[in-house]
Structure 1
Amino acid sequence: MIHKLEHIGVMVNDMDASVKFYTEVIGLQLVNRAKLADGVELGFLSFPGSADIELELIGRGSDGLSDSGKVHHIAFTVSDIEAEVERLKGLGVRMMDETPRVILNGVKIAFFYGPDGERLEFFQPAAK
């Protein structure tokens, strides 16, 4: 039986830059960071008080890992997407959507890029 989503793994080129981005821009906390014997470095991050799902950053090592399985995107729920998009612009984050889009009867989304070009999304549920 499958119980929950455990983590999402993203290949990164610069672990320090990625940890900085996901902690300072997104607001995650670094839970654990370790190097494996083959040189691969792992970083696990989660939101404060919500360690049920983690983002796993995978730094390249000598095991032949490639980015061919890179995740398409990671979505984060927000309560004020317009304010968050403006905050990202102020931080110089590269945006796919300069303004949020409305889909599915009121859901708002905006895509932007992480430090390795990974697609990230802010998701604001439709008002009820």
Structure 2
Amino acid sequence: MIHKLEHIGVMVKDMDASIRFYTEVLGLKLVKRKALADGVELGFLSFPDSDQVEIELIGRGHDGLPDNGIVHHIAFTVSDIQVEIDRLKSHGVRLMDETPRTILDGDLIAFFFGPDGERLEFFQPAAK
């Protein structure tokens, strides 16, 4: 079952400049910043009165943006990611991930495509 909109991923050229903009100009707070093993860096921001992640900044340093757009994906929180992947398969949805991937502190993700090729993600938070 889908619970809520998890976050919107935005590709950025300069993580520091983007964090300054979203925090100082727009008033969001930085919740977490993490470098991944593949050279990608993530910055998660939310509104001060909400613990919900709203924007995920995705950076690869200063090497420019990819050609697949600035808004990278839309993510939805799910309670059982494998059940949702299987449900997508039953509908013939084109998947990027046939099985969930583990990131950060045990969170599970799986990407798939919408009808116009838009990139979508299911996100299952790690059990705490």
TM score, norm. by length of structure 1: 0.49
Which of the pair has more CA radius of gyration? Answer: 1
- Identify the structure with bigger relative contact order (alpha carbons < 8 Å, sequence gap 6+): 2
